């Protein structure tokens, strides 16, 4: 058991680049690359118990499953997920795409660099559920 913890713990705080195919879409702001869950930095999407949350998950499944992505990890984690910005060939920055299309919103608290201000401005006010921690 100790060996598993030693091997697993460092990977929970990985910083660097992860490249590979999307194998699973958990919800609007979390995908898996191989078997590694990645939470999109600076993004909030409605939860799966809402129609909007289910719609964004289903849309992402349709466009991302099997597609190659490059994720720049920021060294942070949330629960079992690494956090980073992911780029797909057709959509570019996935979080940016989701904000511009109105599927999700910018989570100001986790977008310290202001990477998604322009996308949210273009999209207008996010019409989904904005968690208090993102305001």
Band of the pLDDT at 135, cuts 50, 70, 90? Answer: confident
Token duo for residue 5: 């913890």
How far apart are the C-alpha atoms of 40 and 73, rounded to whole Å? Answer: 9
**Overall size of the chain counted in residues:** 135
Token duo for residue 121: 């401005």
CB 110 within 8 A of CB 67: no
- Strand duo 81-88 + 36-40: pairing: parallel
Residues 37-74: pLDDT tens digits? 999 999 999 999 999 999 999 999 999 999 999 999 99
Band of the pLDDT at 10, cuts 50, 70, 90? Answer: very low
Band of the pLDDT at 127, cuts 50, 70, 90? Answer: very high
Question: With 50 as the cut, is the pLDDT of residue 2 above it?
Answer: no
Residues 66-99: pLDDT tens digits? 999 999 999 999 899 999 999 998 889 999 999 9
All domains of the chain in start order, with CATH: 2-134 (2.40.50.90)
Question: With 60 as the cut, is the pLDDT of residue 108 above it?
Answer: yes
How far apart are the C-alpha atoms of 59 and 111, rounded to whole Å? Answer: 23
Estimate to the nearest angstrom the gap between the alpha carbon of 16 and the chain centroid: 16
User: What CA–CA distances, in Å, run from 135 to 30, 117, 129, 130?
Assistant: 20, 13, 11, 7
Q: Containing H/E element for 78?
A: strand 68-78
Question: With 60 as the cut, is the pLDDT of residue 1 above it?
Answer: no
């Amino acid at each position: 058991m100790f060996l598993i913890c030693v091997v697993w713990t460092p990977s929970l705080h990985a910083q660097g680049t992860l490249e590979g195919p999307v194998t699973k879409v958990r919800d609007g702001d979390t995908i898996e690359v191989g078997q590694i869950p990645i939470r999109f930095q600076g993004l909030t999407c409605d939860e799966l118990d809402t129609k909007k949350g289910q719609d964004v998950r289903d849309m992402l499944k349709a466009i991302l499953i099997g597609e190659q992505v490059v994720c720049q990890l920021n060294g942070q984690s949330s629960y079992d997920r690494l956090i980073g910005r992911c780029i797909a060939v057709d959509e570019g920055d996935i979080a940016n795409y989701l904000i511009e299309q109105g599927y999700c919103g910018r989570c100001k608290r986790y977008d310290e660099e202001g990477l998604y201000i322009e996308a949210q401005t273009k999209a207008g006010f996010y019409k989904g559920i904005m968690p208090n921690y993102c305001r």
